[in-house]
């Protein structure tokens, strides 16, 4: 049953690959025509060589008038064959890498449309392995298929035609033994696909492991986990070695087995041809026998090549299956038909009976109701895991509610295009993210056309200008992925400068820019020292003026000025009010506040 399932997956994958190759059908047709031409020219040479041999009658009786024209024709055939193969290889390379380029573009486009639930549930390194390593393996197999499989099949067919035209009896001997070679190749190939599939999966697991450990090397070293993680890597590496060795061993049996069968074919042709040439009155000459032996070699050679190609194709199809699995992974729920973008956003947000859980059996948010008026500053506090960041994910439609609805200005967010909804927010997340590029490019990510003066003003508002000037090239300093050697606090300041720029702190009304009417600050100052934080709070206050703002914070000192504070616990709002009113209630908020400011007079 399992083997049948693998076979169906393999067949489905091959159909998908052929569908992508079909986009370049004219190049494929031209490649096939060139392949047929080169094979025909290659197989013409043995006939010419046989005729030249027949022109050598005996010692001192060489017919040069026959041999020299044949030698010129042989040279012309060889030259045309070389030219045709060069052009054919160039076309095959073009087809292969165009197909792989298309697949990678489709994979990246699919990743951009995937729900965060898929990205969160799959190791990033494993996804990278599919797009990079599996695509490369697929390209290698596909290129070998184009360069050797087509020409090999055509060589077999055209060689048979030549042999039947010369001597049907000997040709039938060759055909009779051929199925044995095909059976051997197919028997081994069917058993190597599962091994190559396991090899590809284990390679992806190893890539994910390396990616995760390199990205968190400081944590590994800080907790002294080097030996344990090395042992874990060795275990994965050992499994990869085992499955790779098995796949290579079984696939390597194909070539010597088919070579043995092909040698039998060659011996039978030599024996039958020699007996025929010795028979009085036979049309079989020494030259014809030479041509036949050359054809027998030409006929059997593709079987050896095809057996190697089949092995590579097994690997390529296994890699392609993993790549198609990514390309066909579920995407975000499409925007509703007729969904209209947000215009003239005032910033009113309403939650109506929202239920949500990341895992069905573990409910997180239950029957959540909230009404936020335009321009209000809403702070969300509570213990770790109570659902604060989850509310932000739902606001941005990174995740969809399991039940209930969220409305902006009275419109259900599911009736608003995601791009339009997300463009209405400016946000700083708890986890900083910087791309490889200059400081300026990172600050201006949300507004690539921003002027230098605007970028500097945003950096000054975020109190990042001073440390940026100390960098080797200032705003043109190149930083690596995720900030390179910048401290966590400096990276967070750049992210704050980014939202300052898109949030309008650095701009005047004369710029005529449409500024985000809503802001999300999810632990935006968690990695910044207290003194700098106090300065940034004043910039945030200016930015939040007149805009609906959602502030997630563990430091309760940063949310005293909020219009309303939501106290969450176990996915529910248990208290709601201003800072003073919540302290007066003497409930859960007061306990949280006192735990942070024990002994501080209020």
Mean pLDDT of 248-273: 74
Mean pLDDT of 272-301: 71
CATH number at residue 496: 3.40.50.300
Instruction: Looking at the structure, tell me whether residues 320 and 434 fall in a common domain.
Output: no
* Residue 159: per-residue pLDDT: 79
258 is a domain residue: yes
Instruction: Say whether pLDDT at 439 is over 80.
Output: yes
What are the backbone angles phi and psi of residue 347, rounded to the nearest 5°? 105, 15
Cα 152 from Cα 35, distance rounded (Å): 9
Strand, coil or helix: 208: helix
| Boundary of a domain, candidates 468, 501, 516 | 516
Among 249, 267, 520, 227, which Cα is nearest to 394's?
A: 520
Based on the number of CB atoms within 10 Å of its own CB, is 422 exposed (0-12), middle (13-18) or buried (19 or more)? middle
Name the token pair of 148: 């050797």
DSSP code, position 132: I
Instruction: Looking at the structure, tell me whether residues 102 and 232 fall in a common domain.
Output: yes
Strand-strand pairing, 437-438 and 478-479: antiparallel
142-151, 236-245, 472-481: the lowest-pLDDT one: 142-151
Name the token pair of 325: 């699995």
Place of tokens 């449409």: 514
Mean pLDDT of 466-479: 88
Instruction: Looking at the structure, tell me whether residues 463 and 317 fall in a common domain.
Output: no
Instruction: Say whether pLDDT at 9 is over 70.
Output: no
pLDDT tier, 293 (very low <50, low <70, confident <90, very high otherwise): confident
pLDDT tier, 509 (very low <50, low <70, confident <90, very high otherwise): very low
Mean pLDDT of 506-513: 39
Residue 334, CB-side half-sphere exposure with 13 Å CA sphere: 3
**Domain membership of residue 454 as a residue range:** 430-516
> What are the pLDDT digits (tens) for 442-471?
888 878 888 888 888 888 888 888 888 988
Instruction: Looking at the structure, tell me whether residues 315 and 463 fall in a common domain.
Output: no
253 is a domain residue: yes
Mean pLDDT of 490-511: 66
Strand-strand pairing, 377-381 and 548-552: parallel
pLDDT tier, 83 (very low <50, low <70, confident <90, very high otherwise): very high
185 is a domain residue: yes
570 is a domain residue: no
Strand-strand pairing, 349-356 and 403-408: antiparallel
DSSP string, 21-34: HGGGHHHHHHHHHH
Strand, coil or helix: 546: coil
52 is a domain residue: no
Q: What is the pTM of this model?
A: 0.65
Q: Is the dihedral of CA 584, 589, 595, 597 positive or negative?
A: negative
Cα 399 from Cα 124, distance rounded (Å): 19
Among 98, 258, 71, which Cα is nearest to 178's?
A: 258
* Residue 190: per-residue pLDDT: 67
Q: Are 458 and 501 in contact (CB under 8 A)?
A: yes
**Residues 203, 209, 214, CA angle at the centre, nearest 5°?**
125
User: How far, in Å, are 82, 167, 182, 289, 290 from residue 270 at the CA level?
Assistant: 29, 13, 21, 8, 9
Instruction: Say whether pLDDT at 373 is over 80.
Output: yes
Instruction: Looking at the structure, tell me whether residues 170 and 310 fall in a common domain.
Output: yes
| Boundary of a domain, candidates 309, 327, 345 | 327
270 is a domain residue: yes
Instruction: Looking at the structure, tell me whether residues 447 and 310 fall in a common domain.
Output: no
What are the backbone angles phi and psi of residue 574, rounded to the nearest 5°? -100, -20
Percent of the chain having pLDDT more than 70? 84
> What are the pLDDT digits (tens) for 175-228?
777 777 667 766 766 667 677 778 878 887 888 788 777 777 767 777 778 888
* Structural domain count of the chain: 2
335 is a domain residue: no
Q: How high does pLDDT run on average in the chain? A: 78
> What are the pLDDT digits (tens) for 397-430?
888 888 989 998 888 888 888 888 888 888 777 7
Strand, coil or helix: 434: coil
> By 3-state DSSP, what share of the chain in percent is helix, strand and coil, each rounded to 5?
65, 10, 25
Name the token pair of 487: 């401290």
Q: Is the dihedral of CA 380, 384, 386, 389 positive or negative?
A: positive
Place of tokens 């960098």: 471
DSSP code, position 134: I
Mean pLDDT of 38-50: 78
Mean pLDDT of 144-164: 76
Sheet-wide strand order for 411-412: 365-372, 349-356, 403-408, 411-412
Instruction: Say whether pLDDT at 479 is over 70.
Output: yes
Sheet-wide strand order for 548-552: 425-428, 518-522, 548-552, 377-381, 564-569, 572-577
CATH number at residue 130: 1.20.1560.10
144 is a domain residue: yes
First and final CA of the chain: distance in angstroms?
72
| Boundary of a domain, candidates 327, 359, 382 | 327
């Amino acid at each position: 049953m399992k083997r049948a399932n693998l076979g169906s997956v393999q067949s489905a994958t091959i159909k998908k690959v052929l569908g992508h190759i079909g986009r370049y059908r004219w190049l494929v047709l031209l490649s096939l025509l060139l392949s047929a031409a080169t094979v025909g020219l290659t197989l013409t040479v043995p006939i010419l060589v046989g005729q030249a041999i027949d022109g050598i009658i005996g010692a001192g009786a060489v017919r040069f008038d026959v041999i020299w024209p044949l030698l010129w024709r042989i040279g012309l055939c060889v030259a045309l064959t070389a030219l045709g193969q060069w052009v054919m290889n160039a076309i095959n390379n073009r087809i292969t890498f165009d197909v792989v380029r298309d697949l990678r573009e489709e994979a990246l486009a699919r990743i951009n449309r995937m729900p965060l639930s898929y990205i969160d549930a799959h190791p990033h390194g494993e996804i990278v392995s599919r797009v990079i390593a599996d695509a490369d393996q697929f390209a290698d197999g596909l290129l070998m298929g184009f360069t050797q499989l087509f020409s090999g099949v055509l060589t077999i067919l055209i060689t048979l035609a030549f042999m039947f035209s010369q001597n049907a009896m000997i040709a039938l001997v060759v055909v009779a033994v051929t199925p044995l070679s095909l059976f051997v190749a197919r028997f081994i190939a069917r058993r190597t696909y599962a091994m190559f599939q396991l090899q590809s999966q284990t390679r992806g697991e190893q890539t994910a492991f390396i990616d995760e450990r390199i990205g968190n090397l400081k944590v590994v070293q800080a907790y002294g986990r080097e030996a344990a993680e090395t042992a874990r890597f060795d275990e994965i590496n050992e499994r990869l070695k085992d499955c790779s060795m098995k796949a290579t061993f079984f696939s390597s049996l194909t070539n010597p087995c088919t070579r043995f069968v092909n040698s039998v074919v060659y011996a039978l042709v030599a024996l039958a041809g020699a007996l025929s040439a010795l028979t009085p009155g036979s049309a079989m000459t020494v030259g014809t026998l030479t041509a036949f032996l050359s054809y027998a070699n030409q006929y059997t050679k593709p079987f050896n090549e095809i057996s190697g190609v089949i092995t590579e194709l097994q690997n390529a199809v296994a890699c392609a299956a993993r790549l198609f699995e990514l390309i066909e992974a579920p995407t975000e729920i499409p925007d509703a038909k007729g969904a209209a973008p947000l215009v003239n956003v005032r910033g009113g947000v309403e939650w109506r009976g929202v239920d949500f859980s990341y895992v069905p059996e573990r409910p997180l948010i239950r029957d959540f109701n909230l009404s936020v008026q335009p321009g209000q500053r809403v702070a969300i506090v509570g213990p770790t895991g109570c659902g604060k960041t989850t509310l932000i994910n739902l606001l941005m439609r990174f995740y969809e509610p399991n039940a209930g609805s969220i409305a902006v200005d009275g419109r259900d967010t599911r009736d608003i295009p995601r791009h339009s909804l997300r463009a209405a927010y400016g946000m700083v997340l708890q986890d900083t993210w910087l791309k490889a590029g200059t400081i300026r490019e990172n600050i201006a990510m949300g507004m690539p056309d921003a002027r230098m003066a605007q970028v500097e003003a945003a950096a000054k508002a975020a109190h990042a200008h001073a440390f940026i000037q100390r960098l080797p090239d200032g705003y043109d300093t190149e930083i690596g992925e995720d900030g390179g050697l910048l401290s966590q606090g400096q990276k967070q300041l750049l992210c704050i400068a980014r939202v300052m720029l898109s949030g309008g702190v650095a701009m005047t009304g004369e710029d005529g820019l449409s500024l985000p009417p809503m802001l999300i600050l999810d632990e935006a100052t968690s990695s910044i020292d207290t003194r700098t934080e106090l300065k940034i709070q004043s910039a945030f206050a200016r930015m939040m003026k007149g805009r609906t703002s959602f502030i997630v914070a563990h430091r309760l000192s940063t949310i005293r000025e909020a219009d309303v504070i939501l106290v969450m616990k176990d996915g529910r709002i248990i208290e709601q009010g201003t800072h003073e009113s919540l302290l007066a209630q003497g409930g859960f908020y007061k306990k949280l506040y006192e735990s942070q400011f024990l002994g501080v007079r209020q």
